[in-house]
Structure 1
Amino acid sequence: MSQPDTISVASPADFHVHLRQGPLAEVVTKHVRQGGFSLAYVMPNLKPPITNTEQALLYRAQLQAIDPAVEYLMTLYLSPELTPAEIRRAARAGIVGVKSYPRGVTTNSEGGIESYEAYYPVFAAMEEEGMVLNLHGEVPSSAETNTCVLNAEPAFLPHLRKLHAQFPRLRIVLEHATTRAAVECVKSLGDTVACTITAHHLALTVDDWAGQSWHFCKPVAKYPDDRAALWEVVKEGHPRFFLGSDSAPHPAETKATASPTQPCAAGVYTSPILLPLVAHLLESFGALDKLEGFVSTHGRAFYGRPVAENDRRVVLKRASGKAVGIEGYGSGPTHVVPFWAGKAIGWEIVEESSREEIS
């Protein structure tokens, strides 16, 4: 069966993206739209983190000032400052979710949590208000428990099962799954539990980041069979698995260098090339026909943000094989280099059209 030369995708949505702050945000925020996306679910792990409604609304206003064409869905950072009363205030203000980071496992997670039970009143309020709990699904490394970056995600899954059992109506998203164990766990739970998958985890395995700082991220890519599990669930078109890019811009100097006291930054940057890259990767494992569900309709359905009749559609066409530029964007402390730099992508964005224009 021949593959199409053009694809039309309804209003792509990225349900996990880091847009930073200050001058770096000025550079990277506009790349959401450049990469083909009209909705960004924004992470709160800034310095200091976004822990209350006022901070989230101010941050959204700052992002809107950079690019008002994107819909920004805002989140709060789960911390001791967050109370049930603040959850209700946030819900009334349109804040969509709360992000949980285990302490110390990823970028700006020093204030992350150590016990979920302490937050049960917050989760109960979230359940009542219809807010989403977003879980960075790893536990900290520990010699005592033989835990490291390669098994930190499977070790976290009992926490997910317990939270779902305790709050069955709370919508929970296990973020950036990397293992077959995580895929099988989410599939086994109810309709209120979903899972995001990144573009880079559809591409990478351990061999691709071991010794290659540009591919180092948290959670790290795992074994070929784990990547195969991600391919399989995308190819299945499972409605509770959808794109959350975890696009994480870091200054190039912090990715390219490391020292005995300062490791390279964890994160890869996919926003500027995201939709063409996802199309390229899905086609590589026979799932191109699942593109719209994966990047738009599945996530929008779970978050209650369905595609509207007048939403824009993004049209992709087969590309001539031009490589992604290695020069990157910005300069100095805002210089970022995208994932896939120096390699060709088989698709490119050619236009954005309304339903009426396409029909």
Structure 2
Amino acid sequence: MAKLEMFEGLELPAAADFHVHLRDGPMMQAVTPTVRRGGVDTVFVMPNLVPPITTVEAALAYKKRLQTVEPNVNYLMSLYLHPDISPDTVREAKSSGQIYGIKSYPAGVTTNSASGVVDYEAFYDVFRAMEECDLVLNLHGEAPPTPPTGERDGSDAVTVLNAEERFLPTLADLHRRFPKLRIVLEHCTTAKAVEAVRRCGPNVVGTITAHHLFLTVDDWAGDPINFCKPVAKLPSDRVELLRAVVDGSGKFFFGSDSAPHLLNAKMGLTDGGLGAGKCAAGVFTQPNAIGFVLESIEQAVEVGIVEQNAVTNDVVTGVLGGYGRKFYKIGEPDKKIRIVGKGVEIKNVRVTNLHGNMEEAQGMADTVVTFRSGKNTYGVEWL
């Protein structure tokens, strides 16, 4: 655990988080106010609701619902890459001035991805229109899972551990075919993903989450609270993520992929609390997002993974919003935050209106567990 001293009193522009899940309904009501609690004033909002956001009208209606809950956040909206998306949809999205990207989920790889992509070639016309309109393509960079298909040693199978690596040729191919298309390889988890982003031109960047700066495979195997997609990988991969965060290249910036789930879903329980299913994929970090990133950097310095002289104010400001704002071509914030050291307690979030009555909150059925709940991390003050 870091000493929570390195960043004490540091003043920064309001942070930006370029990958958030804010859900809808009661869950949206509970988690959207935590955006600013984490020191963030701008978020890139994921479209994987049920049903997914595939029209400009639906995206703008969703934005209005979010603004009703928390009007002091700048919501950058997105569409879900889907057969209903056409080049005309792209042009309409661009002309709205409120939709900044289209998110690609490979079919079946994570939460609410059943409507995802099977064949990228089917969307080439959409990608050409995105190039012309200068709209960002956001890639969930994993190949869908497949069983062994002929290799005796099973090396041709795609699993949660190699799904990101197997996707990287697709990233390279899309960048080659559409060199002017701005692409984000989201939530990088491996050294090979970091290397792949670096090999691409300036139109390709990567986001890195807070939780992947802490976790490795042993932290989620057997612990559903830390289970997400893509899963955390090896200690050597975590080291490369930490180094990428402070490399000053501008190619990597913060996207939390904060994904709230009720505790019973994280534990794989049915509605009645009996039986077991698969635990929900997603780690919730929103209330403490900036604190987690800073704490992970401090830990990396303390153990010698990162040199302290590499952690300049410009680098911290860039990773926590500056690089992403430049890539998405949005303005600088007019508010600042101050980092509070010595720690604030990490607390869970209660979704109190699921049953229409605040008195009916029932623990596991109403609680969203925050990453590293019960521990301390850096806090933020708004200036």
Same fold? TM cut 0.5:
yes
State the distance in 1 between where 2:45 and 2:13 align.
Answer: 20
State the distance in 2 between where 1:216 and 1:297 align.
Answer: 29
- Checking the alignment, whether the CA contact within 8 Å between 1:40 and 1:72 is kept in structure 2 is yes
State the distance in 2 between where 1:17 and 1:204 align.
Answer: 19
Partner of 2:9: 6
- Checking the alignment, whether the CA contact within 8 Å between 2:141 and 2:168 is kept in structure 1 is yes
Partner of 1:335: 367
The one-letter code matched in structure 2 to 1:295 is L
Partner of 1:282: 297
- 1:124 counterpart SS class: helix
Displacement of 1:322: 4.7
Superposed CA RMSD in Å reads 1.5
Partner of 1:249: 260
State the distance in 2 between where 1:200 and 1:266 align.
Answer: 13
Displacement of 1:328: 3.3
Query: Which string of whole-angstrom CA distances, capped at 9 and with x for unpartnered residues, describes residues 103-154 of structure 1?
Result: 0000000000111111000000001001000000001111123110000000
Partner of 2:68: 65
Partner of 1:356: none
- 2:246 counterpart SS class: helix
The one-letter code matched in structure 2 to 1:318 is G
- Checking the alignment, whether the CA contact within 8 Å between 1:178 and 1:226 is kept in structure 2 is yes
Partner of 2:122: 118
Is 1:302–2:327 an aligned residue pair? yes
Is 1:146–2:157 an aligned residue pair? yes
Query: Which string of whole-angstrom CA distances, capped at 9 and with x for unpartnered residues, describes residues 264-293 of structure 1?
Result: 100000001111111111111136533211
Displacement of 1:225: 0.6
State the distance in 1 between where 2:104 and 2:335 align.
Answer: 32
- 2:350 counterpart SS class: coil
Q: How does 1:199-278 map to 2 (within 5 A)?
A: 199-258=210-269, 262-278=277-293
- Checking the alignment, whether the CA contact within 8 Å between 2:109 and 2:142 is kept in structure 1 is yes
Partner of 1:357: none
- Checking the alignment, whether the CA contact within 8 Å between 2:145 and 2:160 is kept in structure 1 is yes
Q: Tell which has more relative contact order, 1 or 2 (C-alpha 8 A, sep 6+).
A: 2
- 1:196 counterpart SS class: strand
The one-letter code matched in structure 2 to 1:100 is S
Query: Which string of whole-angstrom CA distances, capped at 9 and with x for unpartnered residues, describes residues 5-39 of structure 1?
Result: 31111121000000000111000111111111000
- 2:10 counterpart SS class: strand
- Checking the alignment, whether the CA contact within 8 Å between 1:329 and 1:335 is kept in structure 2 is yes
- Checking the alignment, whether the CA contact within 8 Å between 2:266 and 2:280 is kept in structure 1 is yes
Query: Which string of whole-angstrom CA distances, capped at 9 and with x for unpartnered residues, describes residues 28-52 of structure 1?
Result: 1111111110001000000000001
Displacement of 1:4: 4.9
CA separation of 1:184/1:253 partners in 2, compared to 1, >3 Å: closer, same or farther? Answer: same
Is 1:29–2:32 an aligned residue pair? yes
State the distance in 1 between where 2:10 and 2:288 align.
Answer: 16
The one-letter code matched in structure 2 to 1:243 is F
- Checking the alignment, whether the CA contact within 8 Å between 2:44 and 2:77 is kept in structure 1 is yes
State the distance in 2 between where 1:129 and 1:334 align.
Answer: 42
Query: Which string of whole-angstrom CA distances, capped at 9 and with x for unpartnered residues, describes residues 163-211 of structure 1?
Result: 0000000000000000000000000000000100000000000000000
Query: Which string of whole-angstrom CA distances, capped at 9 and with x for unpartnered residues, describes residues 211-265 of structure 1?
Result: 0000000000000011111011112122010000000000111112458762010
TM-score by length of 2: 0.87
Which residue among 172, 176, 183 is the counterpart of 2:183? 172
Stretches (4+) displaced over 6 A: none
CA separation of 1:334/1:65 partners in 2, compared to 1, >3 Å: closer, same or farther? Answer: farther
TM-score by length of 1: 0.93
Note the residue ranges of structure 2 that are not aligned, 5 or more in a row: 150-155, 353-360
Larger mean Cα displacement after TM superposition, 73-82 or 228-237: 228-237
CA separation of 1:39/1:148 partners in 2, compared to 1, >3 Å: closer, same or farther? Answer: same
State the distance in 2 between where 1:229 and 1:303 align.
Answer: 24
Partner of 2:357: none
Displacement of 1:335: 2.3
CA separation of 1:305/1:179 partners in 2, compared to 1, >3 Å: closer, same or farther? Answer: same
Larger mean Cα displacement after TM superposition, 281-290 or 10-19: 281-290
Matched positions, count: 346
Which residue among 91, 94, 98 is the counterpart of 1:88? 91
Partner of 1:155: 166
